[in-house]
Structure 1
């Protein structure tokens, strides 16, 4: 505690870090196939066909789709903390099924269960951090989800290069266990405790999160006022959804999820090694994949630092604009390569272009379109529809992830990889204009100010 009477922030950062170690587990699930596609096709776990590999890559989002809405309901019934700890079960079960798999179907089941756990974290981590954080650092802590997902992706990519597939599975499976041990030391959120009428316990949680000398009265009163408002609006879900604020918030959140997934991010993460092989990159594809993962972490760190300084809107516009440029360059490269528009010597001499393009793409995604759509769901929905619509937006996100990952291989094979990247380019470019004209800036704004702007 300093002399100015401000709250301590280290406990809040630690709480956000500990929950996001679970998000790191989500990253290992996303990044697991990135550097082992070839080994899986060669029978490292079982006899797997190319079609099976596509399903192994794409079935994980289906697990996430199934869990997004139920996990929000469960969080209100038994608490944020216990719900989050329960996700350890599908995480460990999923990795166990993959490790001891006797068939491709067991791997599918394992990917489905780990997808359930991963989808849960994408809903619960932003909810938990938004309910424990001060307004001044809410945006920064909100980016930790994406940061730790990128750390998990790099973890899987590096070990996918360095160890056997079976060893990689064990190393990924240990992450959720470490998460459970560390996160068990953290408190329930004061918001949930206040909802259950446990004011004294909420006061003690604030003492742990803000320091013993911090007076939480103002925050307690603010939370109680918000709870009272939600109670009054409990039966007004459809009424609130039909207001200008409800409609605009829903449009913004669902479109941000659309732009996030149809940027092509999950196709890049799941199939990065195959993309580099197809591009005939002069750098070893596995090394290229690891470079991409490392760049993603650095860019997400920048987002964590800048989001409460530069604001959400400018970062999203910059993100979409740069992603459109990167996928356009990839589309041109694959068009020239696949259609034979240049000599093989010319194509070989351009082997650096896929790596540079994907580095730009990952940097762009990580500074804006990666973390901010998840944060937006916790910031802009009106109280009466926030929980249900946030879960619905998360479900929509993972369903789109499934469509992109399952469709990428087929479209790339039948219409050419350049077609898929041209599609991603058009989507990202259109996102710039959507954000410019439709989305409000929420930096340093209270909930009431955000709602007022949405209603204009």
Structure 2
């Protein structure tokens, strides 16, 4: 990233920071305290903003991955039973549901940056509570606080990225959200192999601590500023994001028209949700986020260590770390493909791949019931199970992992985005909790039957995407809203 001081060139129009807001030189004068920094290239400006807010999803992933490598040490040091540790691990989902309920309204009232600030603080307090815990109550409180922050982050970050990104980069930059989650999970797995659980909790503080600092150096979402009637700040923010050699008049007018048309009515009656412009994006957004979890990704990952052990892989922790690394790589590929292949195509390819992959695992489990444990066929079936699990995780990461969050942030109308986004995020976290709580019970009932259910859900996802999900590649958010009307 390239910066230059104001004193280097007084003739250039440029943004500079003062108490967290961005201003323009040339079009209006502003006083400055301290040195100013300039981002000369618009793509670098947007990328810098995305990388800063991506610390939130890294925190999200770190929270999700923390319980896996620490289970043995925490249960031993604090003398917890298995059920007590299971409660500790699941409480982040409960906190996330509470955070999801409030996420949309918080981000609408105080902005995307303010919402992320609020999310970061309970995360830091939560990690401190865990790191200094001497009994289970501190663990539970810390996990709930972390979950609350994660619930807000999971909605706010994709929305902020969608609202600042240019249309030709929105898919790629939006996919950075899920990429960061997978990086956070992998970091938790990796560091958990080498450091004690209390130190790992202290390390969990870092992403949100850096995030809070970084939020002072990025602009607020121009679309939120426009909606709140802050016209000058809205245009200044957009100019910073697009570059000072860019004519933003067309985009400014489009956003103003969109905000004006959606602001004629500040409240929506339930009867109006029958209109296509409302029910269609709600159905698509909520449907994708529910199907993302009903595919059983958490159940598959949960059972992966057992499958690895059955296949003769002695170190399940290292195998799980390798699986996390594959997730990062596959999600990274998606960030490159999202604006080339398109969202819809990636979702179809991903859900078809998941269907085939989980079917392989299901068939392997069913067939194993008819062969002896010491036969060569049994060992071959174990290998097929490993292949199926790995392929499922990779194909999930290619589409169904990152793309539903991208589409949700793109298609929800601005006047119901806060409420609808909260509902969609809550639906996602409720499904996460449902799958997490039932995975163990279902797998004890029947491994083959469980994976057969996940196969049917993935097959339904193929049909859902093919029939309902629109292609949003290459369109501005305002063009997407016009097409839904």
Counterpart secondary structure, 2:114: helix
- Structure 1 residues 55-92: Cα deviation after superposition (integer angstroms, max 9, x where no partner): 23322121111111312212222221122112111111
Instruction: Give the deviation of 1:449 after TM superposition.
Output: 5.0
Q: Which moved more, 1:323-332 or 1:366-375?
A: 323-332
Q: Are positions 1:248 and 2:285 aligned together?
A: no
In the alignment, the residues of structure 2 paired with residue 87 and residue 270 of structure 1 have an alpha-carbon distance, to the nearest angstrom, of 27
**Alignment partner, residue 134 of structure 2:** 102
TM-score with structure 2 length normalisation?
A: 0.86
Q: Which residue among 16, 23, 32 is the counterpart of 2:57?
A: 23
**What is the alpha-carbon distance in structure 1 between the residues aligned to residue 74 and residue 362 of structure 2?**
27
**Corresponding residue for 2:97?**
65
Match for residue 440 of structure 1?
Answer: 470
1:86-128 alpha-carbon deviations (Å, 9 max, x no partner):
2111111111122122233332222221111111111100111
TM-score, with structure 1 as normaliser: 0.91
The separation in 1 between residues aligned to 2:60 and 2:220, in whole angstroms, is 22
Q: How many residues align?
A: 446
For the 8 Å contact 1:24–1:151, the answer to whether it is kept is yes
CA contact (8 A) 1:85 1:184 kept: no
* C-alpha contact (below 8 Å) 1:65/1:399 kept by paired residues: yes
- Structure 2 Cα separation of the partners of residues 208 and 448 of structure 1: 20
In terms of Rg, which structure is larger? 2
Q: How far 1:164 sits from its partner (Å)?
A: 2.2
Unaligned stretches of 5+ residues in structure 2: 3-39
Residue 431, structure 1, aligned to residue 431, structure 2: no
Change (3 A) 1:59 1:286: same
Q: CA deviation at 1:247?
A: 2.0
Structure 1 residues 84 and 451 mapped into 2: Cα distance closer, same or farther (>3 Å)? Answer: closer
Tell me what 1:178 maps to.
210
Contact 1:34–1:272 (CA under 8 A) maintained in structure 2: no
Q: CA separation in 2, counterparts of 1:213 and 1:189? A: 20
Pairwise CA distance, 1:35: 2.9
Q: Report Cα offsets for 1:120-155 as digits up to 9, x if no partner.
A: 111100111112111111111111110100100100
Find the counterpart in structure 2 of residue 167 from structure 1.
199
Deviates more, 1:376-385 or 1:107-116: 376-385
Q: Trace 1:173-252 onto structure 2 (pairs within 5 A).
A: 173-252=205-284
Moved more, 423-432 or 50-59: 50-59
My pick for the range that moved more, 434-443 or 396-405, is 434-443
- RMSD of the alignment, in Å? 2.3
In 2: Cα distance, 1:418 partner to 1:424 partner = 10
Higher mean C-alpha deviation, range 102-111 or range 80-89: 102-111
Q: Does the CA contact (< 8 Å) of 1:240 and 1:385 recur in 2?
A: no
Q: Among residues 115, 133, 148, which one is paired with 1:83 in the alignment?
A: 115
Instruction: Kindly indicate whether the alpha-carbon contact (under 8 Å) linking 2:74 and 2:80 is maintained by their aligned counterparts in 1.
Output: yes
- The SS at the match of 2:69 is coil
Is residue 403 of structure 1 aligned with residue 442 of structure 2?
A: no
The correspondence for 2:327, drawn from 284, 296, 307, is 296
**Counterparts in 2 of 1:22 and 1:227: CA distance versus 1, 3 Å:** same
Structure 1 unpaired stretches of 5+? none
Return the alpha-carbon distance in structure 2 between the equivalents of residues 55 and 274 of structure 1: 21
**Within 5 A, what are the aligned runs for 1:20-419?**
20-41=54-75, 43-44=76-77, 46-269=78-301, 272-274=304-306, 276-277=308-309, 279-337=310-368, 339=369, 341-346=371-376, 347-348=378-379, 350-413=381-444, 415-419=445-449
2:108 and 2:418 in contact (8 A); partners too: no
Q: Point out the structure with the larger helix share.
A: 1
Answer yes or no: is the 8 Å Cα contact 2:59–2:204 preserved in 1. Answer: yes
Distance 2:200 2:459 in 1: 37
Shift, 1:28, TM fit: 0.4
- Contact 1:129–1:141 (8 Å) recurs in 2: yes
Q: Deviations over 1:296-315 (max 9, x none)?
A: 11111111111111111111
- Residue number in structure 1 paired with 2:33: none
- Aligned partner of residue 282 in structure 2, secondary structure: helix
- The answer as to whether partners of 1:47 and 1:104 remain within 8 angstroms in 2 is no
CA apart distance, 1:169: 1.7
Aligned to 2:14: none
